[in-house]
Structures are given as C-alpha cells and as structure tokens.
Amino acid sequence: MTRKQRRLYFVVLGLLALGAAVGLVLNALGDDMVYFYTPSQLQAKHVPPGRRVRIGGLVEQGSVMKAGSTVTFRITDNTAVLPTTYTGILPDLFREGQGVVAEGKIGTDGVLHASEILAKHDEKYMPKEVADALKKSGQWQGGKK
C-alpha cells in the first residue's frame, strides 16, 4: 500500500467514524433537539404545571376569540388540542388554520399561558391567483384553510 492510499483510507475511515459518532449523539439527544412539542407529544410527556414549554401546531379553525389585546385559541395537531391564551401583539401571519408556536407555562387549569407567539409558515410559495385557483378546483392540500 502506498502512502497516498494509506492517507486516503485514513481520511475515509476517519470521516465514517466521525459521522457515525455524530449520528449516535444526535439520535441520543432526540427530543432535546426539537424546537417545540406538538399537543399530543405534550400529553404523552406529562409536563408538570409551571414548567416553560414551547408548543407548535395549527391554530384550530373557529377557535380564535379576541377580548381587547387578549386572544384565546386552541392549538391542534389533528390528534390533540391545547387551549391557549396570550396577551400582546400577534405576528402578521397569525390566523386560523395557520402554523403557530407558542411559548409559555401550562397552568393548573390545563391552559397554556403564552408569553410569546411565533407564526410558522409552510414550504409552499405561490402567487395569490394560483392559491385561489387551487382552492376553487378543490386541489388545495395542507394549510386547512
């Protein structure tokens, strides 16, 4: 084996070992790498009241109620729902059927008292006319609008 070949095998094996190690670490970190839990993940976890959590999902259709600057709504992942209340300025993209991430504490009443609301959007980009045409023709998928 020439020295060049030996160096080549060394680099390739080194990268494979490193890749495997990083893969195992990321796999072990698992849940700690997520930015938010969905409502059904939250139910499975039994988070004690008063702990700060980030919950993400869709704003349930027809659940938004505004009273002054306080808004209450339900976050859904189509399996579980979480009632949420928030006082403050909402992002522009906040609307029913839209993705949302709320950070706050879950009270003893089972309601998420959010101190921060972030809007999430999906990977689709299109002009308004195309979106309207898709909705009209019934080919609209996702967004649940």
Partner 1 sequence: MHRFANPARFLRLANVALPWLAALAVLSLAAGLYLALFDSPPDYQQGDTVRIMYIHVPSAWMGMFCYTAMAAFSAMALIWKHPLADLLARATAPIGAAFTLICLVTGSLWGKPMWGTWWAWDARLTSMLILFFLYLGYMALANAFDDPGRGARASAILALVGFVNVPVIKWSVDWWNTLHQPASVIKMGGPAIDKSMLIPLLLMALGFQAYYFVVLILRARAEIAAAKIGTIRMAQVHAAGQGD
Residue list 35-54, contact with partner 1 (CB under 8 A): 35-38
Q: Which residues contact 82 (CB under 8 A, 6 or more apart)?
A: 39, 42, 55, 57, 74, 75, 76, 112
Residue from 110, 129, 136, 139 binding partner 1 (CB under 8 A): 129
Closer of 15 and 65 to partner 1 (Cβ): 15
13 binds partner 1 (CB under 8 A): no
Angle in degrees, CA 77, 113, 104, rounded to 5:
80
Site string for partner 1, 74-103 (x = CB under 8 A): ----------------xxxxx------x--
Least distance (Å) between residue 108 CB and partner 1 = 26
Query: In angstroms, what CA-CA distances link 68 with 65, 87, 120?
Result: 10, 9, 24
